[in-house]
Homo-oligomer: A and B are copies of this chain.
Amino acid sequence: MTTDGHGRRPPRMADLAKAVGVSTMTVSRAFRGKAGINPETRARILRKAEELGYVFDATAASLRQSRSGFVAVTVPSINNANFAETVRQLSGELSQNGLQILLANTEYDPLEEERLIGELLRRKPEAIVLTVGQYTRRTRQILRATAIPVIEIWDLPAEPIQHVIGFSNAKCTGRLVDHLVAQGCRGIAFVGGDSPHDPRGGQRREGFIAAMRRHGLDGSALVPTGPAPVGMAEGADALDRLLALRPTVQAVVCVSDLVAFGLLSACQRRGIAVPGQLAVAGFGNYDIARICVPRLTTTDAHAGRIGSMAAGLILRLLKGEAPETPVRFDVGAELILRESTR
């Protein structure tokens, strides 16, 4: 006995319709704010709904309309403030337009990413946003086969799946090197970027190496930090290895501000003056970069803007207003010079 009479079955639309004395279509119209319904009828319906504790079933509506109202999103780690900010903007702007986010954390694991993307697609999202990862062959195949818009963010992959909203992690790191060289630095090292499944870290390191070569300098001072996620603790640990590797190093570029801050703190503990004895640069323009002492030179990747632009693109695509050809948008990260390198 699960049902009826007075047996706690949650009310469905038909119950509400009967209670008000209209058809389910009228109730449906009332709930969707559609025109073509008498305002008083609607008010009566909504009042009665409240009274009965009726909750509209979006699952049934989705099935019937073949529109889930979901947008799927993958990030390597929601604990990263940069990605969190992207998700926050994306989620906020989509939410204003009646779309909900389905979020998945890949934890920088390509197999987990494959599994999660599979789960996400079963929910029939209307679009999928991916923080560029190291996709498995099967992941790539699944993504190429899907009929919904696919938007890769936070990078400019050589072989995009469809749309891209990102920037060149390599070039931005190169600009940081240019700046340091212009300051007169010659011995420059790079910390991080060796994490196996983090494309952005890898490209920052590649960008460093390429820029050093371009300047005719030795780009082999690379200090590894291990598997992602790499944070402040890894930055702090890196200092000893850096000094062992290059006792005369003048400047260090870090794969992120978090690593840079860890390194900075380690310097402070050892009495190494920054930027006097060692210039330090980060990446990402995290809050900490403009608060710590000295403030960190870094690159602002416009995390929030990436989220907004992805939201904008999705909304246009879903309205059918979008271009036939895939979008490839470079949001252009911005070099931010602060005291840690001058």
Contact B291–A236 (Cβ < 8 Å): yes
Given A124-B59, A232-B287, A233-B287: A10 touches B116 (CB 8 Å cut-off):
no
- A56 is contacted by which of B85, B107, B122 (Cβ under 8 Å)? B122
Q: Are A84 and B78 touching (Cβ within 8 A)?
A: yes
Given contacts A79-B81, A101-B103, A123-B59, are A291 and B268 in contact (CB under 8 A)? Answer: no
- A92 surroundings in chain B (CB, below 8 A): 105, 107
Once the chains bind, are B63 and A59 in contact (CB under 8 Å)? yes
A62: interface (CB < 8 Å): yes
**Chain B residues, CB < 8 A from A55:** 121-122, 124, 146
Q: Which residues of B contact A105 (CB under 8 A)?
A: 88, 91-92
Find chain B residues with CB under 8 A from A146 CB: 55
Is A217 on the interface with B (CB-CB < 8 A)? Answer: no
**The residue from B78, B88, B102, B268 contacting A88, defined by CB atoms under 8 A apart:** B78
Does A265 belong to the interface (CB within 8 Å)? yes
Alpha-carbon gap, A88 to B91, bound state (A): 17
Contact of A10 (CB < 8 Å), options: B107, B122, B147, B292: B147
Q: Which chain A residues (256-278) contact chain B, with CB distance < 8 Å?
A: 258, 261-262, 265, 268-269
Residue A22 at the chain B interface, CB threshold 8 Å: no
* A287 in contact with B122 given A68-B59, A77-B88, A102-B100 (CB within 8 Å): no
Q: How many A residues, CB 8 Å from partner? A: 56
In the complex the two chains form, what is the Cα distance from A288 to B232 in whole Å?
7
> A212 an interface residue at 8 Å Cβ cutoff?
no
**Taking the complex as formed, is A145 at the interface, i.e. its CB lies under 8 A from any CB of chain B?**
yes
Q: What is the bound-complex CA distance between A226 and B257, given in angstroms?
A: 27
Residue of B nearest to A82 (CB): B79
Whether A265 contacts B236 by the Cβ 8 Å rule is no
In the complex, chain B residues whose CB is within 8 Å of the CB of A116: 95
C-alpha spacing A137/B147, complex, angstroms:
43
Contacts of A258 in B (CB 8 A): 287
Chain B residues with Cβ under 8 A from A78's Cβ? 78, 84, 87-88, 91
| Least CB distance, A150 to chain B, in whole angstroms | 14
Residue-wise, chain A 90-129 has the 8 Å CB interface mask toward B (1 for contact) of: 0110010000111111010000000010010111100000
Chain B CB within 8 A of A293 CB: yes
| Residues A84 and B88 in contact in the complex (CB < 8 Å), given A122-B56, A123-B100, A291-B233 | no
Closest B residue, CB atoms, query A268: B293
In the complex, the 9 A-B pairs of residues with the closest C-beta atoms, listed nearest first? A58-B122, A232-B291, A79-B84, A268-B293, A53-B145, A59-B62, A56-B122, A232-B287, A78-B84
Q: Apart from A233-B287, A292-B292, list 12 A-B contacts with CB within 8 A.
A: A53-B145, A55-B121, A55-B146, A56-B122, A59-B59, A78-B87, A78-B88, A100-B102, A100-B119, A102-B102, A232-B291, A268-B293
